[in-house]
Amino acid sequence: MIRINLLPVRRDRKKEAVRNQFLVALLVLLVEASVCALFYNAAASKAAAQGNQNQLKVAEVEKLKKEVADHKEILDKITEYEKRQTAIDMLFAGRTGPTHVMLEMSRLLSKGGRPFVDPDKYQELLRFDASAGYDEDWDYRRLWLDRFVEKDHLATIEGQAVTHEDVAEFLRRVNLSQFFTETQLVSTELKPPTVKSSTFSVQDADPVVHFKFDTEMRYR
């Protein structure tokens, strides 16, 4: 009877099975490591992209903050400008009150004086009506004022002039001035001048034109 010892063969097969299991396990680990590496790289790339976006957002926020700060500064400057302009307007309103009206009267009755009028508008007026202009050669000494009363922008002016044409010239100048509107002649009367003098008698003087007119004053 022949006997065969099979024990070494079984040991070899067992070793081979263990070795195969080890290789399979190693292969699984390598596959898992590769998969993990791929996921890690993808996550890292996504995180980097998100980080870049966050930096852009932060930059945009900082830019917006600066723009908002500039906007507030601009608003503050506008508010300050409006306050200054209001103050200037108040000063201007006070400056162009009766004092400036009196200065305008002084200009109208001074050598080389002329009404305060916009040059362009004045030239346009002359194109339509040449007689509406003032006489630059008029002798201002031919007219003088006796009384000027003002209340609530309404004024009554009384005076004397050598002739009616002198009164008309003065009224033309007043009408042209930007400080007066709605001028209306109330009366004219030819009679001796009312002057106080110890050197001559007014009864012997030639009669002059006593005039009176009402006007509305424009302070601005």
The series of mean pLDDT values per 10 residues for the chain, 220 residues long, is: 55 66 72 72 73 75 68 69 54 56 84 84 84 84 89 88 92 89 89 66 75 84
In the structure encoding, which two tokens stand for residue 63, read together? Answer: 């830019």
Domain around 184: 98-217
Q: Based on the structure, what is the number of domains in the chain? A: 1
Q: What is the pLDDT of residue 94?
A: 46
Identify the three-state secondary structure at position 133. Answer: coil
Residue 102 included in any domain: yes
Residue 65 included in any domain: no
Q: What is the pLDDT of residue 201?
A: 54
pTM: 0.52
Q: Report CA torsion sign: 49, 50, 51, 55.
A: positive
In the structure encoding, which two tokens stand for residue 170, read together? Answer: 């003065």
Q: How far apart are CA 123 and CA 134, in angstroms?
A: 12
Residue 57 included in any domain: no
Which alpha helices (DSSP H) does the chain contain, by range? 7-95, 98-108, 119-128, 164-176
Q: What is the pLDDT of residue 209?
A: 93
Q: Report CA torsion sign: 20, 23, 29, 31.
A: negative
Q: What is the pLDDT of residue 13?
A: 66
**Are 188 and 141 spatial neighbours (Cβ–Cβ below 8 Å)?**
no
